[in-house]
Every structure is written in C-alpha cells, then in structure tokens.
Amino acid sequence: MAAEQGLIGMSSCNSRPAMLPTFSMQAFVGTNPIAFAMPANPHNYIFDAATTTVPQGKVEVYRKLGKDLPALWVAKDGQTPVYDHNNTETLNKTRDPEAYVGLTPLGGVTEETGSHKGFGLGVMVEVFTSILSMGNTSVEITPEDLSVGPAQSFIAIDPSIFGDKDAIIEKFSDYLQQIRELPAVPGKTIYVAGDKEALAYDDRKANGIIIDDHTLEEVTDIAKRLGIDYEQYIK
C-alpha cells in the first residue's frame, strides 16, 4: 500500500514460536517475516521473507500435499538437521511432525552457515513489533486465545525527504534492471523481488488460482458455514 502511494514501506509481524535460536533445542522465536516495498518501474520492488529458512505456511502446504519436508527446513534438535546417517551426503526428508522440534533460522543450524543471521533478524523483528509496543512476544502468543495475538510494525518513508522523488525512483529502477541483465547461469533467469509476483499476478488473472484439494475443502467449508455462494468461482 505504501509503494502504491509512492512511499517506501516496511512492515513486520511476530508469530507463535517456530524458530530454533542458534544452538537452542526449543523453538522460541517466531518465523517473524520482514516485508519491504519501494516504487520502481515497470513494477514495484516488493520483498517479503520469513526469517526462518521457510515460513510455517510452506510446511503446511507440504503436509497437505503429502510431500516430505526437506531436512534443511527443520531440525530434530538445536543443531542437527534430519540426516540419513547411513549416507551423510543424503538428507533424510520427513513429513512426521514428531521428527523435528522447530524450523531452522535463515542460514541453517550452525554459525558456519549463518544461522545467527536469521536468528538475529528474528529478534530484530521482535524489537520493532512486540518490544516497542509492549505487546506479546512470540513465546507469549496464545493460539487458543485470539485476544493474545501477534504484534505488528508498519513504517512508511517518503523518498522526497532525500531529494527528487522521481529521480530516486528512476535511479532505483535502473539499478534493478542492471541486476536483471547480469550474465545468468545457463538456462536460468535473474529475477529481483517482485518480478515473479508480477508474472504470477498476470497469470492468475488470466487462468485462475490453483489450490490443493485440502485447502479447497477448508475454503468451501468456511463458505458454507457463512452462507457464501462459492460454486461460481470453482472451475
């Protein structure tokens, strides 16, 4: 919304405990995503990412599809991904929720791979959301009580306080285009944040949204309960 108004936008939100702090054997920090948007051409730059290796929603999608969870997404204790010990070069994938105790921070489970970076970013989100507002930290969120929910942070910056807004946006747009035009790995395309989403938006408008059967069942149950006519939207 900020970018659509010509502003730089930043937002973040904490969540129920999901992330294992580096060397911890108990999930304590949320997935704590960070979102950033800035006006650009031909479309706005929009970056939105969890501070865990993957968001909790990705895990839920894999469960609904009956797919194994890549072991690097989760850890069975504070520092061990779910490895196949008979072949240390092969990661043992699992869909068993009891096989792991939490999501790995962005960077994995060791300092050598940067686990402390994802962990640190997750704590930073807590500062901007729950700490400054004196709201609920991730570990204080109670899913059974909706009144004890997550905390959010929203920031909007007007580029014009730094100079000519149009010139700043144009410079940023040129910078992004330089990235797109860098030499790419054969068979690959270089995208910047927002590119894939813009392509997906056009595709979904033309072809509709594909969802799995379990999610469709959940949506239709909600629609029936609320008396909403949903049949017209299903192909």
Residue 61 CB: number of other CB atoms within 10 A?
Answer: 16
Render pLDDT for 159-217 as a digit per residue (tens, 0 to 9). 999 999 999 999 999 999 999 999 999 999 999 999 999 999 999 999 988 888 888 88
Angle between helices 213-226 and 56-65 (to 10 degrees): 100
pLDDT band at 59 (very low <50, low <70, confident <90, very high): confident
SS3 82: coil
What domains can be seen in the chain, in order of their start residue? 3-193 (3.30.1370.60)
3-state DSSP of 146-165:
CCCCCCEEEEEECHHHCCCH
Q: Which residue has the higher pLDDT, 120 or 215?
A: 120
What pLDDT is recorded for position 81? 54
d(CA 139, CA 141) in angstroms, rounded, equals 6
d(CA 1, CA 151) in angstroms, rounded, equals 19
> What distances in angstroms separate CA 10 from CA 6, 13, 34, 46, 214, one per listed residue?
13, 11, 7, 10, 33
What pLDDT is recorded for position 123? 97
Say if residue 13's pLDDT is above 70. yes
What pLDDT is recorded for position 14? 95
What pLDDT is recorded for position 93? 60
What pLDDT is recorded for position 213? 85
What pLDDT is recorded for position 143? 72
Identify the weakest region by mean pLDDT among 98-107, 166-175, 217-226: 98-107
Residues 6+ apart with CB under 8 A from 98: none
Count Cα neighbours of 78 within 13 Å in the Cβ-side half-sphere: 10
What pLDDT is recorded for position 94? 59
For 201-211, letters b (16+ CB in 10 Å) and e give eeeeeeeeeee
Render pLDDT for 60-92 as a digit per residue (tens, 0 to 9). 888 888 777 777 888 876 555 554 444 444 455
Render pLDDT for 20-50 as a digit per residue (tens, 0 to 9). 999 888 999 999 999 999 999 999 999 999 9
